[in-house]
A and B are shown apart, each in its own frame.
Chain A
Amino acid sequence: MRRSKRQLAVLIGIQSALVVWTAFPFYWMLVTSVKENGEIYGPVARLIPSTFTLVHWRELFYKTPFVIYFRNSLIIATVTAVLSMAIGALAAYAITRLTFRGRTIAARSLVYSYLVPPALLFIPLFQLFGDLHLLNTLQGLILADLTFTVPFCTWLLVGYFKTVAVDMEEAALVDGCTRLTVLLRITLPLSAPALVVVALFSFTMSWNEFLYAVVFNTNSNVRPVTAGLTGMVTEDVFFWGRMMAAAALGSVPPILLYTAAQRWIVQGLTLGGVKG
């Protein structure tokens, strides 16, 4: 499309504004984490820092439980991703390949569950986990995260399994393979890209989860990064350098994974409602 010079200028103007608006907080986060306290809390905000120090990063590792938080987040997100992938694959296979009563209801209840807001579930789950002694455990948070990752994974895999041709599966069944063998040996390998995407999503979703983490786990030994950050505020008056270092580090895994899965994000989050 040909554009006039004025149109081009407007376009570039809006685009630059968007880029600055989006990028500035990240820039400020990184810059703050390497400034000396004197400059951070000085009267003048310098866009280009005049001091450089790694003291906040060192303190983050040695003076705060951040490493524990990070480890907890890794454990919770990894286990959640693996579990939801396994649970989702089994259910999606049943929904797309098998004939049984209640199939439509099962499929629909997935979408409904995906949409039930955590703001409604956290109070009864808090009580339930209290009764089951799951508060202040990593297992509890993994179970809580499954409430949104499992419906999500299953639904996405249902969509994908529908597009995988069934000829090979049928041939294998005729040869006497069981359904489980067919799923493991044929359907899953053919769906490898979808499985990777689903795992990435589950991982980031549970990495980013906050409400359950902050309500269920009050002990900092079992807190993930998101809930852990809230505990770092009260420890010190001058905490912003350290805090921004923690923020930067806590952002790395989801940014990497979402960037890797970028092509599928739109379709994924709208449960296939919007084709990407």
Chain B
Amino acid sequence: MASSDDRSEVIMPRSEPGRESKLIRIRATRLFGRDWAIAYPFLLPVLAVLIGLVAYPFFSAIWLSLTSTTIGSPGTFIGLANYQRLLGDRTFSNSVFVSIVYTVSAVGLKFLVGLLAALVLNEALPPKNLWRMLLFLPWSVPVVINAYTWRWIYDDLSGVLSQTLIQWGLTDHYILWLADKTLALKSVIVVELWQGTPFYIMTFLAGLAAIPTELYEAAKVDGAGAMRRFLHVTLPCLTPVITIVVLLSTIWTANNMQLVYVLTRGGPARTTEIFPYLAYATAIQAKNLGLGAAIPLVFFPFMAVVIYFLTRRMLRQE
């Protein structure tokens, strides 16, 4: 911090021309810190992005949500009317429910599969790096592309999934993976599991590699079996990594509408309409910018709690 900087205490020569301007410079130095005159220009571009493209839009979203703005008409200030409308709206409460189910089950599954996969891969047979590279593929590809690939796999008539199940005699009819009300959300979660787990695997592998082997040896000497070594050595050592990964992934999963956009468009009968998709449908497709802006803002307090804990963790690690 600038306050801790006392190199700004420069001894002033008494009789020198331009003393006035020098005084101002010294005051500025005391106020802004020793290197402010170079630091602020260096920071200017980053501030332009953070303020102009993140902070300003963020606050203008709040303002927008208090107006009746639509695409093509500026609208007027209507107070909390948009929020009131949302709270009384079945479509909205449905999307709250779907979002929670979707996020909790997707994050939970990714965590379990990711942990299992990391434990297995940690002991993997060579070539280890090849397996790691391969298992990371789904994460590196654009989510939309994954979504289209899966939409094709899920296809009603020609999709490989239905056809194979029929060939193997496991079912006698085509299954509507994305059009059946009871199946659609599960099908979307499976894709999210497929494409999101690699991130967990990679981070958990990194966490596992950082655990000192002496701990395991000590536990073995004490007679701890594999299960107890996992519970008392692996898991506690992995906890900081798990916290960061789960929190980060919760934000990403809850706010990502790409899979739903491609796979189901929120349907059938709104059973997959997570809130970011509802926001998109309301603001862009139905052109109601004000109401649309209010939707993610309702969720923002919850996001802010997650972001708060996450930032604390990340900054501590740094």
One of B19-27, B57-65, B79-87, B181-189 contacting the partner: B57-65
Would A116 and B315 be within 8 Å (CB), given that A87-B45, A215-B280, A258-B136 are in contact? no
The interface residues of chain A lying within 8 Å CB-to-CB of B245 are: 270, 274
The interface residues of chain A lying within 8 Å CB-to-CB of B1 are: 101, 103-104
A272 to B240, CA, bound (A): 13
| B76 located at the interface, meaning its Cβ lies under 8 Å from any Cβ of chain A in the complex | no
The interface residues of chain B lying within 8 Å CB-to-CB of A244 are: 148-149, 152
The interface residues of chain A lying within 8 Å CB-to-CB of B199 are: 269
Among residues of A, the one whose C-beta sits closest to the C-beta of B44 is A90
Q: Select which of A100, A128, A143, A207 is within 8 A of B35 by beta carbon.
A: A100
Minimum Cβ distance to chain A for residue B197 (Å) = 9
A93 to B292, CA, bound (A): 39
Contact, CB under 8 Å: A103 / B2: yes
A271 to B51, CA, bound (A): 21
| B257 located at the interface, meaning its Cβ lies under 8 Å from any Cβ of chain A in the complex | yes
Q: Select which of A113, A265, A269 is within 8 A of B54 by beta carbon.
A: A113
One of B9-17, B89-97, B156-164 contacting the partner: B156-164
Would A98 and B49 be within 8 Å (CB), given that A43-B163, A119-B279 are in contact? no
Would A146 and B53 be within 8 Å (CB), given that A25-B149, A271-B314 are in contact? yes
Contact, CB under 8 Å: B34 / A225: no
Would A102 and B46 be within 8 Å (CB), given that A29-B149, A270-B244 are in contact? no
Would A101 and B2 be within 8 Å (CB), given that A91-B42, A243-B152, A247-B145 are in contact? yes
The interface residues of chain B lying within 8 Å CB-to-CB of A15 are: 120-121, 124-125, 131
Would A101 and B45 be within 8 Å (CB), given that A25-B149, A124-B64 are in contact? no
| B318 located at the interface, meaning its Cβ lies under 8 Å from any Cβ of chain A in the complex | yes
The interface residues of chain B lying within 8 Å CB-to-CB of A93 are: 42
One of A147-155, A164-172, A191-199 contacting the partner: A147-155
Contact, CB under 8 Å: B283 / A123: yes
Among residues of B, the one whose C-beta sits closest to the C-beta of A248 is B145
| A136 located at the interface, meaning its Cβ lies under 8 Å from any Cβ of chain B in the complex | no
Among residues of A, the one whose C-beta sits closest to the C-beta of B252 is A117
Contact, CB under 8 Å: A100 / B45: no
A159 to B314, CA, bound (A): 12
Q: Select which of A21, A94, A226 is within 8 A of B142 by beta carbon.
A: A226
**Count, chain B residues at interface, CB 8 A:** 110
Minimum Cβ distance to chain A for residue B294 (Å) = 10
Minimum Cβ distance to chain A for residue B201 (Å) = 9
Contact, CB under 8 Å: B64 / A127: yes
Q: State the majority secondary structure of interface residues on A.
A: helix
Q: Select which of B54, B120, B145 is within 8 A of A14 by beta carbon.
A: B120
Among residues of A, the one whose C-beta sits closest to the C-beta of B139 is A258
Contact, CB under 8 Å: B46 / A274: no
Q: Select which of B31, B43, B135, B257 is within 8 A of A94 by beta carbon.
A: B43
Q: Which of B271-318 contact A (CB under 8 A)?
A: 275-276, 279-280, 283-284, 289, 292-293, 296-297, 300, 303, 307, 310-311, 313-315, 317-318
Would A123 and B140 be within 8 Å (CB), given that A41-B158, A91-B46 are in contact? no
Among residues of A, the one whose C-beta sits closest to the C-beta of B313 is A273
Would A123 and B318 be within 8 Å (CB), given that A113-B54, A210-B258, A229-B144 are in contact? no
The interface residues of chain B lying within 8 Å CB-to-CB of A26 are: 137, 149
Among residues of A, the one whose C-beta sits closest to the C-beta of B72 is A130
A215 to B287, CA, bound (A): 12
The interface residues of chain B lying within 8 Å CB-to-CB of A1 are: 123
Contact, CB under 8 Å: B258 / A211: yes
Interface-centre pick from A14, A87, A266 (highest chain B CB count, 10 A): A266
Contact, CB under 8 Å: A100 / B131: no
| B251 located at the interface, meaning its Cβ lies under 8 Å from any Cβ of chain A in the complex | yes
Contact, CB under 8 Å: B142 / A210: yes
Question: Please, what's the 1-or-0 string for B220-256, where 1 marks a CB less than 8 Å from any CB in chain A?
Answer: 0000000000000000000001001100100110111
A47 to B198, CA, bound (A): 25
Q: A1-B123, A98-B39, A272-B317 are in contact. List 9 more A-B contacts (CB 8 A).
A: A18-B120, A44-B163, A88-B46, A115-B251, A120-B58, A121-B58, A124-B58, A229-B144, A244-B152
Interface residues in chain B, defined as those with a beta carbon under 8 Å from any beta carbon in chain A = 1-3, 5, 7, 31-36, 38-40, 42-43, 45-47, 49-50, 53-58, 60-61, 64, 69, 116-117, 120-121, 123-125, 131-146, 148-150, 152-153, 155, 157-160, 163-164, 167, 194, 198-199, 202-203, 205-207, 210, 241, 244-245, 248, 251-252, 254-258, 261-262, 275-276, 279-280, 283-284, 289, 292-293, 296-297, 300, 303, 307, 310-311, 313-315, 317-318
Could you jot down 6 A-B contacts, CB within 8 Å? A116-B307, A123-B293, A151-B49, A267-B206, A270-B244, A276-B206
Closest 6 CB pairs of A and B: A117-B255, A100-B33, A258-B140, A101-B2, A98-B35, A91-B46
